[in-house]
Chains A and B, each alone.
Chain A
Amino acid sequence: ELKVEQNPLFLSMQEGKNYTIYCNYSTTSDRLYWYRQDPGKSLESLFVLLSNGAVKQEGRLMASLDTKARLSTLHITAAVHDLSATYFCAVTPVAEKLVFGKGTKLTVNP
């Protein structure tokens, strides 16, 4: 059974600092997705990584994918309070579904 593991599960950081969230998965998948969820809200698609070595950046967030290591990272640069949310990675073991990690709850403190 596919396992998607994120770490850390909880992250408290100060504004202006950098940090990385890790996503490991246990089976072959050429595609990886990052989503953001605010408390009580829906999931918002952040990045779709489609190949080994893919890197995408949006504002203070940068995501990368290493399919050989089965690892994706979400790097946060100079965090701001508005980035506080839960971040999920997800992979597609078969075409029809996404399997999500448990999520990383990020809190950015002033």
Chain B
Amino acid sequence: DSGVTQTPKHLITATGQRVTLRCSPRSGDLSVYWYQQSLDQGLQFLIQYYNGEERAKGNILERFSAQQFPDLHSELNLSSLELGDSALYFCASSARQGALGSPLHFGNGTRLTVT
């Protein structure tokens, strides 16, 4: 158990809808990362937060947004969903501001299916 908690585990929704994925980092970790994993794109970095502030952005669509709250949990909001958004979404956390030298600890992921 990595200590990173993601909810829900599975989510099935229709195109055009909006969903929110939630992540609680390991106790004491200030950085939260979101990744999308799909068969064709592999593991894609979406966005990172450190202690409530956005630190880095990756291949995150404008329809997606995220935030990190004062209690350090994070939410990833996906809107105007398309079939291609179906994927496994991982949250990871680390103690440091950046990833240097510190492995990321991944949650079990949220599997999103858009129908």
Contact B107 A42, beta carbon cutoff 8 Å = yes
Q: In this assembly, does B52 line the interface, its C-beta being within 8 Å of a C-beta of chain A?
A: no
Q: Are A97 and B56 in contact (CB under 8 A)?
A: yes
- Find residues 87-110 in chain A having any chain B CB closer than 8 Å to their own CB: 88, 92, 94-103
The stretch of A11-19, A43-51, A70-78 in contact with B is A43-51
- Bound Cα distance A94, B55 (Å): 11
**Number of A-B residue pairs with CB-CB distance less than 8 Å in the complex they form:** 59
Q: Helix, strand, loop or mixed for chain A's interface? A: loop
- The answer to whether B98 and A45 touch across the interface, beta carbons within 8 angstroms, is no
- The segment from B18-26, B42-50, B69-77, B78-86 found at the interface with A is B42-50
Q: How many residues of A contact B (CB 8 A)?
A: 22
Say which size band chain B's interface belongs to: 20 to 34
Q: Is A33 in contact with chain B by the CB < 8 A criterion?
A: yes
| Given the contacts A97-B48, A97-B56, A98-B45, A50 and B33 also touching, CB distance less than 8 Å | no
Using CB atoms and an 8 Å cutoff, list the residues of chain A in contact with chain B.
Answer: 31, 33, 35, 41-45, 48, 50, 88, 92, 94-103
Which residues of B does A touch, CB under 8 Å? 2, 33, 35, 42-43, 45, 48, 50, 55-56, 58, 90, 92, 97-109
